[in-house]
Structure 1
Amino acid sequence: MFMKLPHFLLTILAGSMLLTACSKEMSREGDMPATSNCDYAPYTTGSSFSYIDINQTQDTLAYTLTVSGDTTINNVVYKKVGDDSVFTCSNCKDGIYTQIASILTFQGYKADDLKITYLKDNVPAGTSWEDTVAVNNGGVTSSGILKQTITEKNITKTVNGKNYTDVIVVRMDASAIILNNPVSVGTISTSYYAKGVGLIEADQAEDTIKLLSYTLQP
């Protein structure tokens, strides 16, 4: 899942995730059967992905993310994906895709040092999972929940005039824990992942990110 600033598409500002640093090991959401080749994150070294970020006033930002190599965090190997200003650490094993991110802000809430499971490619549509994070709002710290739900699988999605097949759609919703009860903050994003390509589109409250082109290295 990628989104950038200056508005990160390496993920989601104003519903947004600014993925700027890699730290610590991502938490895992249970054991899944090993039936995946991790084709929804083909992050071989040297591969690149060009995106355009379009906001509500139709202003655009174009940028290219490149896979620069590997980094090892707590004995887990991650791929570094980014440009000169930002990067994220991405890992996939047995169909579970994880990412290390920093700074999530949404409707006054801020969370730091996020560890997110952003996709599972070997579970059916309707499957949901959650990551719990610490959030701050006006100096008050509480827990927040990021809930990912696969809303569709194996669909065809047209992005910038190109048809992508075997697409998985993932909706991210956020909640804050207030007085021990979850209070919905709203939907942060709906992301589309194509087999053999990765993220092709992310629809957010204030902008849309779309893939322009990509180059995969063996």
Structure 2
Amino acid sequence: MENRYFLIAILAAATLLFSCSKEMSREGDGTLPPTSTCDYAPYTNHSSFSYMNVNSAKDTIKYTFTVSGDTTINGNVYKIVGNDSVFTCSNCKDGIYTQVASILTFQGYSADDLRLTYLKDNVAAGTTWRDTITVNNGGASTSGILEFTVTQKDVTKTVNGKDYAQVIAVRMDAYALVLNNPVAVGTISTSYYGKGIGLIEADQLHDTTTILSYTLQP
């Protein structure tokens, strides 16, 4: 049971990262999805995105992520997005946005190369997909499932007094695998992505992250 609660913490921490991966979750009935230009991750070199995080105690942290260039993982090229404290990156192909958290740790537990498919911009509201992750503590491993659901599509959302159009909302629910059976942990976050911008808001149980400003470079 202790492993389950550490897994919850790992999953919660994962929602703060926007990074990269070559792996994809798959679902569907065999029909081809609409064409996508990956406008929900416009991470051109030297573009920057400033955010504010406010927790339930009203503590506030402001930070800026900058796109600093490219990195290659297993032969695939990804954009590096981050600051001096956090290494992140981003990849999108055919409307499927993937991410990896490099060495995510919490109280002795770690998840190396945590690969997630965090957004699909070419599917309808109500679409769901899953990723399986594993966290380790010494020789002990704990597995879990992240389930992503598009809850809203092409809506307008107001963040810090500014309206953002063509927003996609994605809810992330977590399940711990106990004796190979999924046990619901609950909703970890709901994230909102604006077209031509990327992440504009992420709501978690005890804190909310919102975009303050952004600068896109050609």
TM-score range, shorter chain: 0.7 to 0.9
Q: Hey, what does 2:4 align to over in structure 1?
A: none
Identify if the C-alpha distance between structure 1 residues 158 and 20 changes in structure 2 by more than 3 Å, giving closer, same or farther. Answer: closer
Q: Hey, what does 2:26 align to over in structure 1?
A: 30
Moved more, 148-157 or 25-34: 25-34
Offset at residue 21 of structure 1 (A) = 8.3
Identify if the C-alpha distance between structure 1 residues 72 and 137 changes in structure 2 by more than 3 Å, giving closer, same or farther. Answer: closer
So what's the TM-score if we normalise by structure 2? 0.85
Q: Secondary structure at the match of 1:66?
A: strand
Unaligned runs of 5+ residues in structure 2 are: 1-8
Is contact 2:18–2:90 with CA below 8 Å preserved after alignment?
A: no
Letter in 1 for 2:155: I
Q: Hey, what does 2:213 align to over in structure 1?
A: 213
Identify if the C-alpha distance between structure 1 residues 47 and 158 changes in structure 2 by more than 3 Å, giving closer, same or farther. Answer: same
- Output aligned runs, 1:102-141, within 5 Å: 102=102, 103=104, 111-136=111-136, 140-141=140-141
1:10-52 Cα shifts (integer Å, max 9, x gaps): xx97822264987xx5312238646000000000001000000
Overall identity of the aligned pairs, in %: 66
Unaligned runs of 5+ residues in structure 1 are: 1-11
Identify if the C-alpha distance between structure 1 residues 164 and 173 changes in structure 2 by more than 3 Å, giving closer, same or farther. Answer: same
Q: Hey, what does 2:201 align to over in structure 1?
A: 201
Offset at residue 167 of structure 1 (A) = 0.2
1:151-190 Cα shifts (integer Å, max 9, x gaps): 0101100000000000000001111111121001111110
So what's the TM-score if we normalise by structure 1? 0.85
Is contact 2:146–2:173 with CA below 8 Å preserved after alignment?
A: yes
1:99-153 Cα shifts (integer Å, max 9, x gaps): 1114276xx9864431011000000000111111113589742321011110010
Q: Secondary structure at the match of 2:67?
A: strand
Over aligned residues, Cα RMSD in angstroms?
Answer: 2.6
Letter in 2 for 1:27: E
Q: Hey, what does 2:91 align to over in structure 1?
A: 91
Q: Secondary structure at the match of 2:22?
A: coil
Q: Secondary structure at the match of 1:15?
A: helix
Which 4+ stretches in 1 moved above 6 angstroms? Answer: none
Identify if the C-alpha distance between structure 1 residues 120 and 21 changes in structure 2 by more than 3 Å, giving closer, same or farther. Answer: closer
Is contact 1:15–1:188 with CA below 8 Å preserved after alignment?
A: yes
Offset at residue 95 of structure 1 (A) = 0.1
Q: Hey, what does 1:4 align to over in structure 2?
A: none
Is contact 1:15–1:205 with CA below 8 Å preserved after alignment?
A: no
State how many pairs are aligned: 204
Moved more, 160-169 or 128-137: 128-137
Counterpart-to-counterpart distance in 2, 1:13 and 1:144: 10
Letter in 2 for 1:215: T
Q: Hey, what does 1:183 align to over in structure 2?
A: 183
